[in-house]
Amino acid sequence: MVNQSKNEQHIVIVGGGLAGLSAAEWLLRQEVPPKITIIESTGRLGGVIETVSQGEWLMERSADSFLSVRPEGIELVKRLGITEDLISINPEARRALIWSSQKGGGSGALLPVPTGFRLLAPGRIIPFLRSNILSCFGRLRVAWERFIPQRTHHDVDESLESFAVRRLGQEAFDKLVQPLVSGIWTADPSRLSMAAACPEFLKMEQDWGSLTKGEKKRVAQANGSRDASGARYGQFVSFKHGMQTLIDALESRLRSAGVLVVQDQVRSLQRDGSQWQVFLGNQAIRADGVVLGVPASTAATIVSTVSPNLSAELKMIEFAGAAVVSLGFDQQDVSHSLRAAGMIIPKVAGKRILAASFSSSKFPGRAPPDAVLIRTFIGGALDMGIASLADEEVVKEVLIDLRTTIGLHGNPSIVQVDRWHRSMPQYNIGHVERMKKIRQAEAQLQSFGLAGSAYEGVGIPQVIQSGQMAAANAIKDQAMSE
């Protein structure tokens, strides 16, 4: 048994991903910082965020950027002193392309997402009417959105598919909304909860009676610009040497402050008077507070001995798996100009890949001169069979689709496959109510917090915020008792 002095506050953070690291960084900024121990089973900090360098190739294993308009990410970057390392998406690449299939075959074309369209909201109608992504009827149906009556039963959770079809029509959902959604959540839109995943658009309908009107108001209030699509891509930032920069800076800050990192696996928790006992493989650590920054399924196992109700709710959160396939090519082997941030592929197109990010177009320093780096995403809730395919088979499927969509006629000079089995949380219908139960059960445990992407946001700023809130919960009861 590892004992701590009664006068020494000790917080144990389980999980060394971004959520856990953010919790530790928040704790270090308190007036009287506690002793902090991070327990990470792999021994490596950063979780899914990792940048791999091979020669002049710079490849991200998961997220390659984050949205700067939310304050949590940018404020953390400033505190770490790495603001000068930030880069934005190249101006000429600040648009997304969507594969538009032609009738009667597998041929098609990559077309730009209509200017002003943001996930579900058509902020500008004229660009939509001029786009060939939808049929004439489909475009008129979107234009009619402002006249669709709003839903009256606000207390009933609605799926994103139901919401999109109701407001924009079936064709707009199939050819535009569904691929955009899959590119973000890798989810099944027929099960994805609007209240959990897209509350902003629900509120738009309630406040303005129309997504078209609501988006125009939002953009006008934000910056007076109507080009919401271009502005949004300008808000994504990364680092000159990849997202690993953020993890390295966090790790350096924590270790220099004396944060202890232990490579081990937490099996369970127990309360012992006013303290926690954190049971590892062959020892137990006493702690005054605990943060669980691990996947919900892992957290469910750990808390089963202290809160069966919390464990049961955590087990109900579903996850999907996906693969990120990074491929490098000679520029001459790709017919398309790749002047975009990337492309998305509708499910109705009958292809396997969900989306592709044109990394070397988005950011400098991602590929050698006269070469291109493309990151493709395959799998998700609508294609769970990917998990059973070998890496070689996954790459083969990706190459088939790239040959069709971007005119690829060469073989890759570099290949990296990153498998994320059951790592994408699914905010399915009922998630908001489940989160209420989870937070209620969490509050019943003294000096305890949950953090991670499974709860209230999958973006990097949201995960950072979740770590900070969990850290505050871990010391809350101690502060109240002093």
The Cα 335–Cα 409 span in angstroms is: 8
Nearest to 375 by CA among 247, 251, 248, 238: 238
The pLDDT value recorded for residue 230 is: 40
Domain ranges of the chain: 10-47+244-317+428-481, 51-92+321-426, 116-226
> For residues 238 and 243, what is the distance between their CA atoms, to the nearest angstrom?
6
Q: Which amino acid is at 76?
A: L
pLDDT of residue 194: 96
> Measured in whole angstroms, how far is the alpha carbon of residue 463 from the centre of its chain?
9
Show Cβ contacts of residue 419 under 8 Å, excluding neighbours closer than 6 positions: 321, 323, 387, 391
DSSP SS3 for 98: strand
Count CA within 13 A, CB hemisphere, residue 281.
7
Q: What is the pLDDT of residue 451?
A: 98
Q: Please report the pLDDT score of residue 231 as a whole number.
A: 43
Q: What is the CATH code of the structural domain delimited by 10-47+244-317+428-481?
A: 3.50.50.60
DSSP labels, 290-332: EEE-S-HHHHHHHHTTT-HHHHHHHHT-EEEEEEEEEEEEEGG
The answer to whether 474 touches 449, Cβ cutoff 8 Å, is yes
- Please tell me the pTM assigned to this model: 0.93
pLDDT of residue 425: 94
What pLDDT is stored for residue 4 in this prediction? 45
Distance CA 266, CA 285 (A): 10
Distance CA 269, CA 14 (A): 11
H helix intervals, 61-130:
71-80, 125-130
What homologous superfamily does CATH list for 51-92+321-426?
Protoporphyrinogen oxidase, mitochondrial; domain 2 (3.90.660.20)
Q: Which residues contact 151 (CB under 8 A, 6 or more apart)?
A: 158, 166, 205
Nearest CA to 162 out of 173, 147, 176 is that of 173
Position 7 scores a pLDDT of: 55
Query: Which parts of the chain register pLDDT below 50?
Result: 1-6, 104-105, 224-231
Residue 312 has which token pair?
Answer: 């049961």
CATH topology of 51-92+321-426 equal to that of 116-226?
A: no
The answer to whether 208 touches 217, Cβ cutoff 8 Å, is: yes
Q: Determine the Cα angle at 57 with ends 54 and 59, to 5°.
A: 90
The number of helices, as runs of H, and strands, as runs of E, in the chain is 19, 22
Other Cβ atoms within 10 Å of 443 Cβ, number:
13
Which pLDDT belongs to residue 227? Answer: 43
Please state which of the four CATH numbers 1.10.3110.10, 1.10.10.10, 1.10.357.10, 3.40.50.620 is assigned to the domain occupying 116-226. 1.10.3110.10
Give Rg (Cα) of the chain.
23
Task: Name every residue whose Cβ is closer than 8 Å to that of residue 140 and which is 6 or more positions away in sequence.
Answer: 129
